[in-house]
């Protein structure tokens, strides 16, 4: 694993002592971290392209943690968030969790509870990143298909038989079989069921596309 790919934990808390304590805990657990005193500092920082998560204090100068969570989502910045607060309540917790937070911890919390939440968040981010890489690879394969092969793929995954596709496209059944073979090879699909799953991941509309 290269340094850029190593997991990174970002901590935003306006309490310098709390930032130092969390950073020390993370270092003892073998985790790399960066700390910030305000949300704006985090936004100005460069974030490596590797698994990461954000430990975010609810009470911050300027924008509060919950509003910052929404701001990140609106900006398309997808990073698992663990909230920490000195005065949490149920409505606050519900709002954070409904918006996708991994955990909501009230100070003073147990070190192990924070570490468990961080490992859960990093695992979630790893899975998401792998899914994104898989989807990007799938899109590359799809882009290699010709227009006619995409038409055939759309009709195949909609459940049509070769002879039905041939009639629909005004071509011969043998030609459809050839195009279908090309689709299976280029998409690296081992079965029709796998091709259907690929089409679903690509969110292809059924029919001729």
Predicted structure pTM score: 0.79
Nearest to 188 by CA among 145, 133, 128, 132: 145
Tens digit of pLDDT at every position of the chain (209 positions): 555 578 999 999 999 999 999 999 999 999 999 999 999 999 998 887 889 999 999 988 888 899 999 999 998 889 999 999 987 778 888 888 888 899 999 988 999 999 999 999 999 999 999 999 999 999 999 999 999 999 999 999 999 999 999 999 999 999 999 999 999 999 999 999 999 999 999 998 755 44
Contact between residue 8 and residue 32 where contact means Cβ atoms under 8 Å apart:
yes
pLDDT of 92: 84
Give the DSSP per-residue string, the chain. Answer: --GGGS-EEEEE-S-HHHHHHHHHHHHHTT-EEEEESSHHHHHHS---SS-EEEEEESS-SSS-HHHHHHHHHHTT----EEEEESS--HHHHHHHHHTT-SEEEESS--HHHHHHHHHHHHHHHHHHHHHHHHHHHHHHHHHHS-HHHHHHHHHHHTT--HHHHHHHHTS-HHHHHHHHHHHHHHHT-SSHHHHHHHHHHTTPPSS--
Alpha carbons 72 and 104: distance in angstroms, whole number: 17
* CA separation, residue 45 to residues 35, 73, 131 (Å): 10, 17, 25
Residue 63 CA: distances (Å) to CA of 5, 94, 133, 150: 30, 19, 33, 47
């Amino acid at each position: 694993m290269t340094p850029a790919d190593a997991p990174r934990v970002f901590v935003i808390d306006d309490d310098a002592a709390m930032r130092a304590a969390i950073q020390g805990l993370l270092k003892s657990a073998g985790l790399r971290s960066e700390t910030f005193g305000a949300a704006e500092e985090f936004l100005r920082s460069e974030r490596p392209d590797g698994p990461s998560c954000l430990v975010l204090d609810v009470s911050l100068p300027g924008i509060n943690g919950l509003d910052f969570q929404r701001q990140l989502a609106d900006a398309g910045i997808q990073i698992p968030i663990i909230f920490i607060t000195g005065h949490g309540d149920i409505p606050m917790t519900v709002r954070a969790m409904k918006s996708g937070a991994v955990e909501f911890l009230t100070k003073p919390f147990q070190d192990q509870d924070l570490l468990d939440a961080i490992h859960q968040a990093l695992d979630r981010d790893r899975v998401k990143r792998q899914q994104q890489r898989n989807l990007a690879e799938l899109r590359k394969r799809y882009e290699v298909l010709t227009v006619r092969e995409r038409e055939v793929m759309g009709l195949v995954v909609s459940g049509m038989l070769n002879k039905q596709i041939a009639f629909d496209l005004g071509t011969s059944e043998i030609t459809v079989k050839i195009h279908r073979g090309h689709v299976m090879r280029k998409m690296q699909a081992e079965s029709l069921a796998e091709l259907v799953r690929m089409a679903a991941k690509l969110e292809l509309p059924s029919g001729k596309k």
